[in-house]
Chain A
Amino acid sequence: MNYFKNKLTGKRRIFSMMAACTLFLFLITTNIVYGQEKTIPTVKGVVKNDGGDVLAGATVSVRGTKILTTTKSDGTFELKNVPEEAVLSVSYVGHTRTEIKLKPRQAEITIRMTSSSAVLTEVIVNNGLYRRPAGNFTGAAKTFTGEELKSVNPSNVLQALAVMEPSIRIEQNNALGSDPNQLPIIQIRGQNNLPLTTQGGAATSATPVSNGDIMSTYLLNPNQPLIILDGFQSTLQIIYDMDINRIASITVLKDAAATTAYGSKAANGVIVVETKQPLAGRTQIVYAVNMNVEIADLSSYRLLDAKGLLEAQRLAGVYTDPNNHFNDVSLKQWYDYRKYQVASGVNTYWLSQPIRTGIGTNHSLSISGGARSVRYSLSLNYNNGVGVMKGSGRERFGLNYTLSYTNRSLRFSNNTTVGHAKGYTTPWGSYSQYSAQFPFFKPTDSAGNTIKIFEPTGTALGIPGSPPGGVFTNTAYNAGLDMNNYGYTTTFSNNTNVEWTINKEMRLRGAVGFSNNMPGSEAFFPADHTMFVNALAAGVADLGSYTQSRGKNKSIDGRINFDYNRKFGVHTVMAAFGVSMQATESNSTTVQVSGLPNDYLNQLGMANGYGTIIKPAATNNVTRSLSSYISVSYNYADRYTAEITANASGSSQFGSNNRLAPFWAGGVAWNVDKEKFFKKNDIIQNVRVRLTTGITGNQNFAAHMSQPVFQYNLLNNYRLQLGAVVQSYANPDLKWQQTLKSNLGVTAALLKGKVNIGFDYFTENTDNLILPLDVAPSTGFVNYQDNLGAVKNSGYEFSISSPIIQNRTKNIFWSLSFNVGHYQNEITKLSPAIEALNKANNSTTNPELKQTTPLPRFEVGQSMTRIWAVPSLGIDPATGKEVFVKLDGSKTFVWDPNDKKPVGDGNSKLKGMIGSNFNYKGFTFNINLTYQVGGQMYNQTLVDKIENVNLLVTNADERVLTERWKQPGDIVSYKSLVANGTNGLQQTNATSRFVQDNDYLEAASTTIGYTFPTNLAWVKKLRLSTPRLFITQNNVFRFATIKTERGTGYPFSRSFSFGLSTTF
């Protein structure tokens, strides 16, 4: 018997050895003792949750047999003929599967289950490819549940993530404000790429809508983290349009140990999104409704009123012409005309014209259920996001269906998602046009009709000359036209997962995903649109335009993963191995036609020709990539952990000589408190130190840089033949950029769990940065792309959270949290071509260069976000002119771009969050404040609206009148407003005077919620289980050191959300 048993286990051992040899080259011996073949006639038991309540409908089974039952309404169950010392397995919705081994001859048992949401954050780390116990993980990662994120921002999950996680930064886009159709630009732990178009990006995407094309989104933002949705690469757009109620968790993977499995795509960090999976049990219906109210925040605007503007214009010399008496008289007459308008009471507040209070709703319904073997879930979502500008919004429909089948060791699931999002651009046009519009223009005539052209012609008024500034049109007029301007995208994806639990230690998983994303856009501007007012002379054929674009992005992903997990004695070994491949194809076509005179001819085919546009545009991209990884971790006695991960990635984008890239990472962790020398004390209970290092890659560059490609000249022919030439010198040695990431982390629990702290210090050295290298033009080429540059990022993240009150009996919970993130950036190596680029940006002769804004300049030893401007001493009280400091220290009135010095840094030193979470009985009160300290910003608004303002055509900030230099002796911050022949327009170029500290404290979100007790009569009557009502307010207040007009192209908004959710 014994011999036979050994033989059996021997076979197992061979199998394990094969696994061990091939996978991680170390040997594991197994030694399992099988139980006795006796049975117990009846086992009785009861299943309870962690609160002590009984659970009805929980599934109880005996592992390794077909014995199975469900608990009754009182939580009890009964099993017959159970083998002695069998393992009982219990599962229940929202709880982790619990397994308990019966003691010899035990016939009665009480099983306690823990709810799964808590388990998710603490015990398991999921990197999207494989899950592992946190004890076997040394990397830097942070997981947030969908509920946590929803409580911060119920309508924008990406904003919520940026509030919660200090390593994530969203680039403030001052121009686009709270436009619901703009994707945020996000990055994790800083940027690893120069913000240059040298990466071959930008121009490659012809589609105007931010679409679902995986490749083009990365080319547009080469610092964008990799997005993984349920195990497959996805796009930011999909996450942005996704129903927040579907999100189970989002994990942010930061360091090498956490991300290396993704190889050449991992350098920017990874965001792993997991959606909720159907759970067994009785059918559960969850309904959530959320109403979102958006109110425009115009508090940062301080524009002149009608009277003030006219005066400012007069002072700026708009209405005088000292050189031409005839003009001078004419201009004076125009002044009188406008002055009369002001006197008659015209003072239009244009800023409020295109603004509304946007009220949007989000409905989300999900049904899930099923038995132990077959489970399903169906979720439906309708979201109507309404922007604060009239007519703008984003409408989303979503449908998701998951079916899973589980038998003893096989689990099969299939998931289909269909989504449609339609984004409407406001017909009112850019918001900047309203801040520019003169307040002494009337929006409507006496009959109430919207005015298209504001002023009568000079002839009509009997004024000889044309009006100063030309013909002014009312952008608001377009809102009354029948025009189309929207983009849309339809997404379909289907993922199939098969999971085979070979035995307790081994699991094999395979997955195939297919997704199809079809973006498009339609833009129709009829001839009556104000944009054509000045084009009338161009001929009727070109009035009115219609642009249509269509795209199609397909991707197919396949993946096989194998993992092995075994605990013997004090040793825990975990290994994972996997191969994945991806093929993407994207194409788009854009056609523009002209000549649609009437606004009811709103079809592409109604146009009478192509006008001056002669060619449709089309793009087509194909990429393929292949990646395989192997990861091994070992834990000894819960004290020491070591892990090592290796990855080999291949991509069609790499040069032909460098098709497969190797990456690796290793890490160790030490639970100090588990050591014998660690004495129990009241201050520190728990300390874990982690150290990781490794190399990851970035492949966000265009494919043609590495492969010889011909480009056809489609605009010309040679005696009816088409010709093709070599597009650029393809560098067959071109490699992926690689980033060496190191991370030192400490987590600790202090004061018996009253304080939890986490600290991570990291460095990221990016090497092989792809930059152009100039060559002799006799080679036929100007430059070629090579791996030349290097950048270093370093920083830290610190978080502290403290459950101050945890009173279960009185049901009061209060916790505070604080986090802070810092990073700094330094360029360590550049190619000479960048020097030429810097020089070109210092040119004073190039008319296309706008020196009014600090131009990028990259130098070794400086950060990429450095602001370069000429140091200024301020305004000379005697002359009203600006005094500059030259490089040699001398003073001058003359601005010279070569005097530019690093005067600030756009990257703020610290960014973080302060949060408070208070619960009393059913009430919840959360507040999250975000802050940013230590960065600078070039206050472009001040420059554009005060000093560089062209009063001839735009309105200005009120400080134009109040704070500009007027007479000798004035000590002011702004240059003189003196007519110097060009209407007061003295160009102010990049100067340190406008570099301001960009610190702020903002109430990112405030939530008040109430969960109704389940014992209320009406709750019971409606068969609701956890009805919940909450109100979230985003951006309640903001204290900032810098006052700029925020949201120049689209206003920022404050939002309030009212939500109700319940489970049937």
Chain B
Amino acid sequence: MTSKLSRISWKYFQKLTLPAVIAVTVLFAPGCKKFLDVPPKDLVPQATLLKDEQGFKDALTGVYLGMDKPKNGANYGLYTTNLSMGMMSTLAYNYDNATVPNIGVGGAFFNNVVYYVYLDGEVRKEIDGIWGGMYNNIANLNNILIQIGSKEEIFNRDNYNRVKGEATALRALFHFDLLRMFGQPPLSGPAVKAIPYVTQFTIRSTPFVTLQAGLDSCIVDLLAAKDMLAATDTSAVLKGVDDAFTSYTQNHLNYWAVQALLARVYLYKGDLENAEIYSKSVIGSNKFPLISSNVAGAANIIRDRTFSQEHLFSVYSTSIKDYSGSLFGTATALRLLPAGKNTVYTSGSGNASDYRYTSWFDNNASAINVPSKFFQDNNLPYELQGNVPVIRASEMYYIAAECANNKNDIASGASLLNKVRAARGLNALNAAGITNTDSLSTEIMREYQKEFIQEGQTFFYYKRLNKDLKQATGTVAVIPAGVYVFPIPDKEKEYNR
């Protein structure tokens, strides 16, 4: 009897086997995809990172870090060396000893740069690296902007607008600087194809647009960014506060910096009306007042060599000490020789009392007098360390002055310029010498030359106005044709037709 029972149950058991096997298999199938979705842990999968606010903040911070060392970038830091104290300043003839071989960190790099040999292997590599690094940053920004979409609900306070606004503005900044480097000078080639303006995250290449169209896209992005950032807390310019993300306003591309950038872009485009509006708006905000005493000449522990309160936006990097040390700290340091220094600072309307003359040059460890804007003194307060200005308040006065000058309002122009001169320990311009727009223009250029040593903006100033480089800089180099336009990387030409 029992055996019969067991046989029957066995029989039914047998019958159920196959359906059971199939059921288990079928149950597996929908779980498959999820089971297989496990990227490695030491790298963070996008889906995990961009799930909350912190992830977006970190992705944005990644781009700020990329302004120093981006992926696919060059040998030298991007905004921290090539676009500031390194290549761009050398092109503006800030370091007249670069005409001697093996100056700087050794090798022929700066020597080739000062002679504008863009096609030299090393220089070419650096230019390709600028292109690659800038666009890698742009790709990261586009990824953030696509991923952030309308995920407003995962953000606290005004952080959605901060992230999205800053990302949009940074995209414009990078494209604008690419346009300034790789595009034709605005006076001679606004309709010439310049760069691709990339707004998608894709492996397919974006077609080249003209300088004009590129600048217009920058303006579109910046205006959008301005509106987004206007919706954030703009009551104060902060230093270190409890929230790391909103700390150090000046190290973020903030609301005012976006307006300053708009002024710079409009001016580059030749739209002086708008340039004046935005430069005045920044000046009028009074958030970034000009210095009132020579903070760059203060004792070492508080020595503010870059006049940091005037920074609308500066890039932070922990490596500035190394960069500055390798270029300016050695026996073969890059330098502006005494004659050149005097030409820039003390001749004409200049004076040896200029804070920039007295405090922006120091002897390095090898007792050589070098430009010292980026020296990081021992025990320097944290907030003064590692800043490389991208855009500063004094430029707003120069832009406003240029706009006034353009309207033949020489008096207003001179008065704007005098505000900066006063803040630099110089007397007001002798009104008798400023009789026409040309003379005021010359004074503005001289201010650019003095103010932006080691910051790289002077070269773009020359380019914007199609200045004769030989005349403007007094360089001994033969100026080749097309010196204002960097060569597009070969790989770009090959793969983006």
- Interface residues of chain A, those whose CB is within 8 Å of chain B, are 11, 15, 18-19, 22, 502-503, 506, 508, 560, 562, 577, 579, 581, 583, 587, 618-626, 628, 650-652, 654, 656, 659-660, 703-704, 707-713, 716-727, 729, 731, 774-782, 784, 845
Contacts and interface: CB of A to CB of B under 8 A. Distances in A.
B176 interface: no
Contacts of B328: none
9 contacts: A709-B43, A711-B43, A723-B64, A725-B66, A725-B71, A726-B140, A775-B203, A780-B142, A780-B201
Contacts of B245: 721
A933 B387 CA distance: 66
B37 interface: yes
Contacts of B25: 579, 628
B40 A782 contact: no
Contacts of B132: 777, 782
B135 A777 contact: yes
B417 interface: no
Interface string B38-78: 11111111110100000101111111111011111000000
A432 B68 CA distance: 43
Contact of A780 (B28, B128, B139, B319): B139
Interface in B7-31: 11, 14-15, 17-19, 21-22, 24-25, 28
Given A560-B21, A659-B33, A716-B317, A709 B39 contact: yes
A776 B316 CA distance: 29
A777 B40 contact: no
B111 interface: no
Interface residues of B, number: 79
B103 interface: no
A659 B18 CA distance: 27
Interface stretch (B88-96, B268-276, B293-301, B489-497): B489-497
Contacts of A708: 45-47, 143
Pairs A-B, 4 closest by C-beta atoms: A780-B139, A723-B62, A723-B61, A776-B496
A562 B205 CA distance: 51
Contacts of B42: 618-621
B65 A716 contact: yes
B76 to A, nearest CB: 15
Interface string B198-217: 10011111100000000000
B44 A15 contact: no
Contacts of B492: 776-778
Given A652-B38, A717-B318, A777-B492, A709 B17 contact: no
Contacts of B244: 719-721
Contacts of B46: 707-710, 726
Contact of B36 (A626, A729, A782): A626
B37 A15 contact: no
A621 B316 CA distance: 33
A704 B39 contact: yes
A654 B64 CA distance: 32
Interface string B127-143: 01001100111111011
Contact of B38 (A22, A624, A704): A624
A6 to B, nearest CB: 16
B251 interface: yes
A64 to B, nearest CB: 11
A724 B47 CA distance: 13
Nearest to B251: A719
B396 interface: no
Interface string B391-409: 0000000000000000000
B247 interface: yes
Contacts of A775: 203, 205, 495
Interface of B: 11, 14-15, 17-19, 21-22, 24-25, 28, 32-33, 35-47, 49, 55, 57-66, 68-72, 121, 128, 131-132, 135-140, 142-143, 195-196, 198, 201-206, 244-245, 247-248, 251, 316-319, 489, 491-492, 494-496
Given A560-B21, A707-B39, A722 B14 contact: no
A620 B121 CA distance: 39
B442 to A, nearest CB: 38
Contacts of A581: 35
Given A711-B43, A780-B72, 14 more contacts: A18-B18, A577-B21, A650-B36, A708-B45, A709-B43, A712-B58, A719-B244, A723-B61, A724-B62, A725-B59, A727-B43, A777-B135, A778-B205, A780-B136
A561 to B, nearest CB: 10
Contacts of B138: 780
A805 to B, nearest CB: 52
Contacts of B41: 587, 620-622
Contact of B247 (A506, A562, A719, A779): A719
A32 to B, nearest CB: 14
B125 to A, nearest CB: 12
Contacts of A711: 43-44
Contacts of B136: 725, 780-781
Given A722-B58, A724-B59, A778 B206 contact: yes
Contacts of A656: 37
A726 B58 CA distance: 11
B336 to A, nearest CB: 30
B61 A722 contact: yes
B44 A624 contact: no
Contacts of B135: 777-780
Contact of A713 (B65, B204, B489): B65
B155 to A, nearest CB: 16
A660 B205 contact: no
B18 A774 contact: no
A716 B32 contact: no
Contact of B57 (A650, A721, A777): A721
Contacts of A626: 28, 32, 35-36
A777 B316 contact: no
Given A621-B40, A778-B206, A707 B45 contact: yes
Contact of B65 (A19, A723, A726, A727): A723
A659 B32 contact: yes
Contact of A652 (B28, B39, B43): B39
Contacts of A579: 24-25, 28
Given A15-B18, A659-B36, A779-B198, A784 B251 contact: no
B40 A709 contact: yes
Contacts of A704: 39-40, 43
A348 to B, nearest CB: 42
A1002 B350 CA distance: 88
B178 to A, nearest CB: 9
A719 B316 contact: yes
A502 B143 CA distance: 56
B136 to A, nearest CB: 5
A781 B45 contact: no
B157 to A, nearest CB: 17
A972 to B, nearest CB: 40
Nearest to B25: A579
B316 to A, nearest CB: 5
Given A716-B317, A719-B247, A778-B198, A620 B40 contact: yes
A874 B244 CA distance: 70
Contact of B318 (A15, A19, A624, A716): A716
B45 A713 contact: no
Nearest to B31: A626
Contacts of A621: 40-42
A587 B40 CA distance: 10
B205 A779 contact: yes
Contacts of B128: 777
B195 A710 contact: no
Given A620-B40, A710-B43, A781-B203, A723 B491 contact: no
Contacts of B71: 725
A782 B49 CA distance: 23
B45 A710 contact: yes
Contacts of B22: 22
Contacts of A577: 21
